[in-house]
Amino acid sequence: MQAKQTTENRYRGVSYTRPIDAAKEAVPVIDLADRLCGPGQMRRCGAEWRARCPLPDHEDRFPSFFANPGKNVWRCFGCSRGGDVVELYRLTHDFSEREAHVAAANLLHEFGHEVPQRPASRSRRWDRQRAARDAIDRERVEHIRMLVFRLVWVPWLRLLPEWTREEATESAWESSQKIARLVYEQRRAA
């Protein structure tokens, strides 16, 4: 019997790991911990610094939060959590595990560092695929347009007198284009 996975799947790939790696290199954990704990709250304890836990869901009476600037990691013995600078920022600012790359980008921005851009290969691939994606979108809109025309307008057109039916059909066909585009955009947003 397999163990049940308790955490969400993490993103993989260069565009997601770049901000995380850059934040780990650029921002020392002690600087973030000092900012979160408040000025003057961190106390030196050997090679580490300690303070009350800055995590929002842990009210700490006695200092159980330790930050090690040499290893650039932190650990709270009261709530049994620890990790690197990105993990600390993610937990204090309520980002999910799947949003770790966003937390890392915010952390870099907050400390005045440049957020790494996506690789150029990704942009080139999106540009190559743009024509195919646009063609697929047009076909989907056209399909919805035909459905709207057949299900909404045709029953109404049958009730009209014969002499006005041709002009009304053209008008209904044009109106169904706008309706189809709106329906498609709403379905894409949902």
| Alpha-carbon gap, residue 153 to 161, rounded angstroms | 14
Model confidence pLDDT, tens digit, residues 158-188: 888 888 888 898 888 888 888 899 999 888 8
Tell whether pTM > 0.75: no
Q: How confident is the model at residue 6 (pLDDT cuts 50, 70, 90)?
A: very low
Which residues make Cβ contacts (< 8 Å) with residue 34, sequence separation at least 6?
41, 42, 49
- The CATH class that applies to domain 14-110 reads alpha beta
Q: What are phi and psi of 124, to 5 degrees?
A: -65, -40
Domain boundaries, the chain: 14-110, 120-189
Per-residue pLDDT, 39 = 84
Per-residue pLDDT, 49 = 93
Position 3 pLDDT exceeds 50: no
Per-residue pLDDT, 60 = 78
Q: What are phi and psi of 45, to 5 degrees?
A: -140, 85
**Helix 162-189 vs helix 120-148: crossing angle, to nearest 10:** 150
Q: How confident is the model at residue 4 (pLDDT cuts 50, 70, 90)?
A: very low
Model confidence pLDDT, tens digit, residues 127-145: 888 899 999 999 999 999 9
Q: How confident is the model at residue 11 (pLDDT cuts 50, 70, 90)?
A: low
Residue 145 near residue 176 (C-beta atoms within 8 A): yes
Q: What residue type is 94 in one-letter code?
A: D
Residue 78 near residue 65 (C-beta atoms within 8 A): yes
Position 20 pLDDT exceeds 70: yes
**Structure-token pair, residue 161:** 């007198």
Model confidence pLDDT, tens digit, residues 81-124: 999 999 999 999 999 988 999 999 999 999 999 988 877 776 77
Model confidence pLDDT, tens digit, residues 53-91: 998 888 878 889 999 999 999 999 989 999 999 999 999
